[in-house]
Structure 1
Amino acid sequence: MSSELLPRTAVPLGITDPVERARAELKAALNAIEEKANVPKRAAKATERAKVSARRFADRNPTGAALAAVGVAVTVGAVVWGVVRLYTR
């Protein structure tokens, strides 16, 4: 298997030299920590997945998407109204 096909967080198979194996494991561990700790990158990926899913749903069911958008707007409006009402009391 070519190293170009491996994820950044994987250790290549077949490394026999213990020093090279330790370096590869350290590199993979550091890459995994970087992937896990990079919250903005993870949030951007999750947002993109949600947008794709919402577009797919809207393409399949435009009426349901419109109703969902209205429902979200009403819910957000009610929450904001409730917070403001509690704050002003």
Structure 2
Amino acid sequence: MTNSEQQLPRTVVPGGIVDPVQSARAELKAALAAIEVKGNVPRRLEKASQRAAVKARAFADRNPVGAIAAAIGLAAVAGSLVWVIARALSR
């Protein structure tokens, strides 16, 4: 394997495969990897939450007052949402 082939994502079929059997296997392997990546919702949510946490930390470092205001705003929205749901269920 060359260095450029090692850097390819799992969902990419490497080029230069001449044998049709090897080509079909490589395509199947890439298709299964793509299905796993798309279908693994918990892993995708974990990665998205990690990206959001990194962005939130960077925002808080750049603008601490804005981060506090955003946290208060999110808490108010979450509290309001809980209140609306609780009120709707109690009726």
TM score, norm. by length of structure 2: 0.92
Amino acid across the alignment from 1:50: A
**Residue 86 of structure 1: CA displacement?**
1.8
Match status 1:34 vs 2:36: yes
Distance 2:59 2:49 in 1: 15
User: Root-mean-square deviation (CA), in Å?
Assistant: 1.0
1:78, 1:16 → 2: CA distance? 62
Q: 1:4 and 2:6 equivalent?
A: yes
Q: Does 1:16 align with 2:18?
A: yes
**Residues matched between the structures, number:** 89
How do 1:1-89 residues align onto structure 2 when only pairs under 5 Å count? 2-89=4-91
Q: Please report how far the alpha carbon of residue 2 of structure 1 lies from its aligned counterpart in structure 2 after TM superposition.
A: 3.1
Q: Distance in 2 between matches of 1:45 and 1:82?
A: 30
- Mapped partners of 2:76, 2:11: distance in 1: 43
For structure 2, the 5+ residue unaligned runs are none
Alignment identity in percent? 60
User: The residue matched to 1:3 in structure 2 has which SS?
Assistant: helix
Unaligned runs of 5+ in 1: none
Separation of aligned partners in 1, 2:22 and 2:35: 20
Instruction: Give the alignment's TM-score, normalised by structure 1.
Output: 0.94
**Following TM superposition, by how much is the alpha carbon of 1:55 offset from its aligned partner in structure 2, in angstroms?**
0.5
Tell me which amino acid in the other structure corresponds to 2:22.
E
Q: What amino acid is the match of 2:63?
A: N
Q: Any runs of at least 4 consecutive aligned residues in structure 1 with deviations exceeding 2 A, and if so which? A: none
